[in-house]
Structure 1
């Protein structure tokens, strides 16, 4: 599959509407989990941004950041399943959109020892929110669905960034995309 088809597929999935993000509209628990990250702009932008940010990095960080996000997101869902209260979940998600956008806009290169915990901390909020929408779905299949969708969104962001040439104009475009993501994060925070 070429990059253009992958991007078109991701765009169509992202445009599928917020109704898919909420349980009760379908019976397949894997599908409801898979569709949830595509249904909210906050989740969608944060997950694409992790892929975009990872593409700016070198070496192990390119894989560690998205993988760390997915693992921490599953841990956040686990916290929700255990009944642990996580305060300010929606604010944490909105702040993740802002911070990830700023990291891209500023072309920040945090050391992996700082970037990975930052990404993981925000992923806890996303996972907790995903669990809150579980409805009657089985946790394992629901979590597998949203983990796979998240990894796919990370891959879309990564591939988009790597597809662009290493020119000054492309770098400005990536930074502008980061600024736009950060702007949406600021709006979501009510700033």
Structure 2
């Protein structure tokens, strides 16, 4: 671990529980989001379905190591933007909420089981789930008072969650840290499963 990342890794065990204790409201009510940057920034951070999936992307990238540690957190927002465009254009996508819930389950299990998928397969898995997350936001985005500011805030909030996952994932450098990371993956899978049960 580089010296620059050590302080972030040390503070993450405190930050992650706070993120997971955020308001447990379903993030996609279909009502849209008025506002701009602050609304966009807070939306992924205050929705557990987003928190668990986006932290899991960073965690899994860290488990897989370089270059996945940086590629997966870049793939997710890029493909999410494509999914958002589909939502804005009104292109239907079935089972969006199910796909979002499954992202927590699958990505959490990938971390908990330390799945060593080849990078192209890992990127495809992350990308598929990113489409669901993006589509959900794309259908809400036109209702925002300032869609550009909302989008910028949302991307920054998403990046913060990815970085939190990466920082926590860096604990895998030590045996005890690997246990913490696997437990975090299991917790993410459980939260995703709870969302999935609520949708079914």
**Fold conserved between structures, TM > 0.5:** yes
Secondary structure of the structure 2 residue equivalent to 1:107: coil
TM-score of the superposition, structure 1-length normalised?
A: 0.86
State which of 105, 108, 132 in structure 2 corresponds to 1:101.
108
> Which consecutive unaligned segments of at least 5 residues does structure 2 have?
none
Q: In the TM superposition, what is the alpha-carbon distance from 1:168 to its structure 2 partner?
A: 2.5
Kindly tell me: are residues 137 and 9 of structure 1, through their superposed partners in 2, closer, same or farther at Cα, counting changes over 3 Å?
A: farther
* Contact 2:33–2:39, Cα closer than 8 Å, also in 1: yes
Return the offset for 1:16: 5.3
User: 1:90 aligns to what?
Assistant: 97
1:36/1:130 contact within 8 Å kept: no
Q: Report the counterpart of residue 81 of structure 2 in structure 1.
A: 74
What's the counterpart of residue 58 of structure 2? 51
Shift of 1:8: 5.1
**Inter-partner Cα distance in structure 1 for 2:11 and 2:44:** 20
Query: TM-score under structure 2 normalisation?
Result: 0.83
Preserved contact between residue 19 and residue 51 of structure 2 (Cα < 8 Å): no
Residue pairs, 1:1-191, within 5 angstroms: 2-3=7-8, 4=10, 15=21, 17=23, 23-24=33-34, 27=35, 29-134=36-141, 135-162=143-170, 164=171, 166-190=173-197
Specify the SS of the correspondent of 1:54.
helix
- Deviation, structure 1 residue 48: 0.5
**1:133 Cα deviation after fit:** 2.9
1:7 to partner: Cα distance: 6.5
Once the two structures are overlaid, the 10-residue window that deviates more, 99-108 or 131-140, is: 131-140
Deviations 1:45-81 (A, max 9, x none): 1001111111112222111111000101111111111
Count of aligned pairs = 186
Q: 1:54–1:65: 8 Å Cα contact kept in structure 2?
A: yes
Aligned residues of 1:7 and 1:156 also touching (Cα < 8 A) = no
In structure 2, distance between residues paired with 1:23 and 1:115: 31
Q: 1:130 to 1:86 in 2, by over 3 A?
A: same
CA RMSD of aligned residues (A): 2.3
